[in-house]
Amino acid sequence: MEDIGTSIASKIVEEPVALIGRQLSYLIYYDSNIKSLTDVLKKLDDKKNDVQRSVDAAKRNGATIKDQVQSWLEDVNKIFRKVKELENEVYMKRQCLYGLCPSLKSRYSLSRKAKKIAQCVLDLKLDQELSNNVANPSPLQQIGSIISSEGFKGFESRKAYMNDVLIALRNEKSRIIGICGMGGWGKTTMVREIINRLKGTNQLFDDVVMATVSATVNIKTIQTEIAESLDMKFVEEIESRRAEKLHMRIKESKRILIILDDVWSELKFEAIGIPFVVGPNYTNQVHEGCKILLTSRDEGVCKVMGCKDDIFRVQALNEKEAWELFRATVGESLDNNLDLLHTAKLIADECKGLPIAIITVGKALLPSNGKHEWITALQELKNSLPENILGMEHSVYSCIKLSYDKLNSGEVKSCFLLCCLFPEDYDVPIEYLVRYGLGRAIFRNTNTVEDVRNKVHSLVENLKRRFLLLDSEKEECIKMHDIVRDVAISIASKDPHRFMVRSFDAKGGGGGWPGVQKATNQEHCSAISLIDAKLDEDITDGLDYPKLELLQLKNSSNSEYSNHFRRLKELKVLAFLGMDMSSCLASNRTLAHGESKYLHTLCLEDCKLGDISHVIGGLGKFGDPQLCSLSNS
């Protein structure tokens, strides 16, 4: 009993002593408590600024901020409001004491409040994972709208490109990265998806901004787009002053990614206000935390702007991906319409993996439209007349024609148009372009065949860099995407070119003169190409084309050529490829009726010529060509 009483008495004495000790500590450790509060507030302020930058960047990219992060920021703001109240209290008391040290009572009160606020700061922790991942992914509906409007889907081919770009962005040595490819292949859509992946991840960048450059460069517009993404507003109208202001703002961002979309020619970063210099000559004007990601239809532009190893070339969708995209665009009801499925797959195949074409055609066709409309669309795609399909002229043709219009010389344009004379998906020998170009004298400052050959190879590389031509698996050959070929035929059929191209392929395509009607335009026609066609009277009866400079027949069937090819006074290039010429060479009639005085190039390749004596005599019927090829004949 005595022990219990002693214990109680001891506690009665200890608790007041401890309480008094705590209260006295507020007076004794006044300076220490104030300093501790200052230190923890500095760390909290830094943390808040880091999180706030991540939040701002995520919001600009359309992400939704997580509730826990929002609550943490609100709690932080409450603490700083308490600190502000404490500072005001200190200020007011000093005013009352004429700047002298506060009284013991004031020191006690201020020290006690400082201690409690500091403890609140220490208790206010944000999980590291939340610090690195402040936002939720964009709503599926937003992603779906990107899929339906611009052709992006979670295809493996696109995922591979994006993963490679993200790896390059994480590489400290990579400072400028290029994505290039033909118009309509989904470069812009891919960049937007990369932005989605960057936001709310491990925060590679504090800021991600994007500006569209386009074919007609407007520096002020680019500056404004970047500035708005950085919550800036320009008062200045002079470009150079806007550039200075933007330069300073970009350098305030520790890590910033600037995306320049649809770049057609070299941009001067300093004119825009981007603190970035290509090459090793870094100065104090360069911001090492700044990276550039650009998209272009021209690989050469990526290179001239400083992209070296980090250039990613976007290709067409594969057959499976193209069908999935087409089916998703048309709608699920297509799966229930067995009558249309076969035709739909053929239509998707004709788009050759070009996302913009797949989307445009898919939107124009509905299962409710009826089978006849679907079959008509298929035939128009086969016959190189897809501009009759709703939206193709505006969305697809204009996109590709813009690339053609931006070619920098008449020579490269002429070389491009020569490629449409050949069948779809054809491996075009570059040597044919040499011969046809030489025969039509479209290349300036060339004195020899070798000069022309070098120039053509240079022009072909130029077109390949712009993705208007593609690599072929065959040596010394190139290919042209089928949709690009359709656009080329459309361009070539109009003034001043006036080409006629007719092709019967294995799928039954062909029929009619694409883009040009014989009756109204034959006197202006400059080039004709007949591929796998029967030379019937409808096409060649009284063939009278006084301006015709190039005639190509490939695998076409008719034994009486001499009845058709007359009055071709301006003919410069005559090419028979894979033809049976034996009866023509053996006859006494002239193939071109001896009227062409300008025939320069004659090609009889892979042809059946018959008796060699007839060949020797028959060649004289073609006048005196300067270039003659009998390869494989």
pLDDT tens digits along 588-601: 454 544 456 678 88
Which of 76-90, 356-370, 612-626 shows the lowest mean pLDDT across its residues? 612-626
**Same domain (yes/no): 143, 221:** yes
Is residue 14 scored above 60 in pLDDT?
Answer: no
* 216 lies in the same domain as 361: no
Q: What percent of the chain has pLDDT over 70?
A: 72
C-alpha–C-alpha distance, residues 581 and 610, integer Å: 7
Predicted confidence at residue 506, as pLDDT, reads 41
Assess if residue 496 is contained within a domain: yes
Encoded tokens for 445: 């400052």
Which residue has better confidence, 262 or 104? 262
Rg over alpha carbons for the chain, rounded to the nearest Å, is 37
Q: Which residue has the higher pLDDT, 549 or 587?
A: 549
Highest averaged pLDDT of the listed ranges 142-156, 320-334, 382-396: 320-334
> Average pLDDT in the 468-476 region?
92
Output the pLDDT for position 97. 46
Question: Are 222 and 99 members of one domain?
Answer: no
Q: What distance in Å separates the CA atoms of residue 385 and residue 392, rounded to the nearest whole number? A: 10
Q: Give Cβ neighbours of residue 519 (< 8 Å, ≥ 6 apart).
A: none
Higher-confidence residue of 428 and 37: namely: 428
Is residue 377 situated within a structural domain? Answer: no
| Max mean pLDDT range (88-97, 154-163, 472-481) | 472-481
Give residue-wise pLDDT tens across range 391-417: 787 778 888 888 999 898 999 999 999
Of the three residues 96, 112, 135, the one that is the final residue of a domain is 135
Question: Quick one: pLDDT at residue 25?
Answer: 58
Rounded CA-CA distance 325/148 in Å is: 9
Answer yes or no: is pLDDT of 68 > 70. yes
Identify which of 45, 31, 40 has the alpha carbon closest to the alpha carbon of residue 110. Answer: 31
Greater confidence (15 vs 89) lies with 89
Same domain, 243 and 347: no
Q: What pLDDT, on the 0 to 100 scale, is given for residue 623?
A: 62
The set of residues, in sequence order, having a beta carbon less than 8 Å from that of 461 and lying 6+ positions away, is none
Highest mean pLDDT among 52-61, 99-108, 151-160: 151-160
Structural domain includes residue 413: yes
183 and 76 belong to one structural domain: no
Same domain, 270 and 193: yes
pLDDT at site 456: 96
The pLDDT of residue 369 is 74
Which of 232-246, 282-296, 617-631 comes out lowest in average pLDDT? 617-631
Asked if the model's pLDDT at residue 178 lies above 80, the reply is yes
What is the average pLDDT across 114-130?
73
Rounded Cα distance, 443 and 515, in Å: 26
Q: Between residues 356 and 104, which one has the greater pLDDT?
A: 356
Question: How far from 212 is each of 158, 188, 260, 264, 314, CA to CA, in Å?
Answer: 21, 9, 6, 11, 19
Q: Are 234 and 242 in contact (CB under 8 A)?
A: yes
594 and 465 in a common domain: yes
DSSP letter string, 122-190: HH----HHHHH--EEPPPHHHHHHHHHHH-----HHHHHHHHHHHHHHH-TT--EEEEE--TTSSHHHH
For residues 505 and 410, membership in a common domain is answered with yes
Query: Is residue 387, in this structure, part of any structural domain at all?
Result: no
Structural domain containing residue 243: 137-313
Reported as a pLDDT band with limits 50, 70 and 90, residue 143 is: very low
Residues in the chain: 633
- If asked whether residues 108 and 234 sit together in one domain, one would say no
Q: Which residues contact 489 (CB under 8 A, 6 or more apart)?
A: 384, 420, 499, 501, 514, 515
Burial class (CB in 10 A: 0-12, 13-18, 19+), 610: middle
Tell me, yes or no, whether 391 lies in a domain. no
Shared domain for 355 and 402, answered yes or no, is no
In a domain, 448, yes or no: yes
Q: Residue 216 and residue 222: Cα distance in Å, rounded?
A: 11
Q: What was the pLDDT predicted at 565?
A: 55
Q: Would you say residue 59 has pLDDT above 70?
A: no
Position 132 pLDDT exceeds 60: yes
Average pLDDT over residues 494-505: 78
Instruction: Give 202's pLDDT tier (boundaries 50, 70, 90).
Output: low
Under the banding of pLDDT at 50, 70 and 90, the label for residue 177 is very high
Pick from 135, 166, 200: which residue ends a domain? 135
Q: Which of 105, 135, 165 is the last residue of a domain?
A: 135
The DSSP secondary structure of 33-56, one letter per residue, reads HHHHHHHHHHHHHHHHHHHHHHHH
Q: What are phi and psi of 134, to 5 degrees?
A: -85, -15
More confident residue, 266 or 198: 266
If you average pLDDT over residues 162-177, what whole number do you get?
A: 90
458 with 605, same domain: the answer is: yes
For residue 152, the domain's CATH number is 3.40.50.300
Average pLDDT over every residue of 228-239: 85
**What's the structural domain count of the chain?**
4
In this predicted model, what pLDDT tens digit does every residue of 297-339 receive, in sequence order? 999 999 999 998 899 999 889 999 999 889 888 877 787 778 8
Confidence of residue 627 (pLDDT cuts 50, 70, 90): confident
Cis status, amide bond into 137, omega within 30 of 0: no
CATH (domain of 595):
1.10.10.10
Same domain, 330 and 295: no
